């Protein structure tokens, strides 16, 4: 695994690098908030849950209790109720399809097409998010089944962040890319 610099918080980055479920939670939260906010979310959630970020525990949690955790100030996302439901749906999906083992999303895939299908079947993930996830997994978790390259994103994304200073550069590149699209 390689270092991840999706936030300015070293502890949050370390969690993303060592815990694939934390990374998946960050990718789930990565919409309509800054990259930093989305990827700090798993670390904050882990702290609020008593130091454990476990798919089975989140899947089994009372939905109202999980929403309350997301709503604690500062809220984990600008849409805390919706994101609590999405994260819980992702956790339930992992429990039901992979026995709660996030790494099986790529370990069970022998081809890029299978990996793409595994990721696209995650609640709230579509093609865009699945392709970004493939890029992040290939770079940081060495998840590279045959043919994965065909599914790598061809637009500026968190996949392009290699160093802490790349975070600011990504914002500039995304803005220019959107303006030209």
- pLDDT category, 129, cuts 50, 70, 90? very high
Task: Identify any residues that bridge with 33 across adjacent strands, giving them in sequence order.
Answer: none
Distance CA(151)–CA(86), nearest Å, equals 24
Task: Identify any residues that bridge with 146 across adjacent strands, giving them in sequence order.
Answer: 111
Contact (Cβ atoms closer than 8 angstroms) between residue 87 and residue 54: no
For 16, counting Cβ atoms within 10 Å of its Cβ (0-12 exposed, 13-18 middle, 19+ buried), the class is buried
Per-residue confidence (pLDDT) for residue 179, from 0 to 100: 84
Looking at the chain, the whole-number percentage of residues with pLDDT higher than 90 is 87
Q: In the predicted model, is pLDDT for residue 1 greater than 80?
A: no
Which are the contacts of 152, defined by CB distance < 8 A and separation ≥ 6? 131, 134, 135, 138, 159
Would you list the domain boundaries of the chain? 10-180
Per-residue confidence (pLDDT) for residue 173, from 0 to 100: 84
Per-residue confidence (pLDDT) for residue 3, from 0 to 100: 87
Q: In the predicted model, is pLDDT for residue 53 greater than 80?
A: yes
CATH architecture of 10-180: Orthogonal Bundle (1.10)
Report pLDDT digits (tens) over 18-39: 999 999 999 999 999 999 999 9
Contact (Cβ atoms closer than 8 angstroms) between residue 171 and residue 178: no
Per-residue confidence (pLDDT) for residue 71, from 0 to 100: 98
Q: Mean pLDDT for the chain?
A: 95
112-124 burial, b if ≥16 CB within 10 A, otherwise e?
bebbbebbbebeb
Per-residue confidence (pLDDT) for residue 175, from 0 to 100: 82
Q: In the predicted model, is pLDDT for residue 63 greater than 70?
A: yes
Model pTM? 0.94
């Amino acid at each position: 695994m390689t270092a991840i610099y999706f936030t300015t918080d070293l502890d949050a980055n370390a969690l993303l690098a060592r815990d694939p479920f934390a990374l998946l939670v960050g990718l789930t939260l990565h919409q309509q908030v800054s990259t930093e906010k989305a990827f700090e979310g798993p670390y904050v959630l882990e702290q609020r849950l008593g130091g454990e970020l476990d798919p089975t525990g989140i899947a089994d949690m009372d939905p109202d209790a999980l929403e309350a955790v997301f709503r604690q100030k500062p809220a984990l996302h600008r849409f805390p109720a919706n994101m609590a439901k999405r994260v819980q749906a992702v956790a339930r999906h992992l429990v039901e399809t992979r026995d709660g083992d996030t790494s099986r999303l790529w370990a069970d895939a022998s081809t890029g097409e299978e990996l793409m299908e595994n990721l696209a079947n995650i609640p709230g993930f579509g093609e865009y998010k699945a392709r970004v996830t493939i890029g992040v997994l290939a770079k940081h978790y060495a998840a590279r089944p045959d043919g994965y390259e065909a599914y790598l994103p061809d637009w500026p994304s968190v996949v392009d962040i290699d160093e802490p200073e790349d975070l600011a550069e990504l914002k500039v590149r995304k803005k220019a890319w959107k303006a030209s699209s």
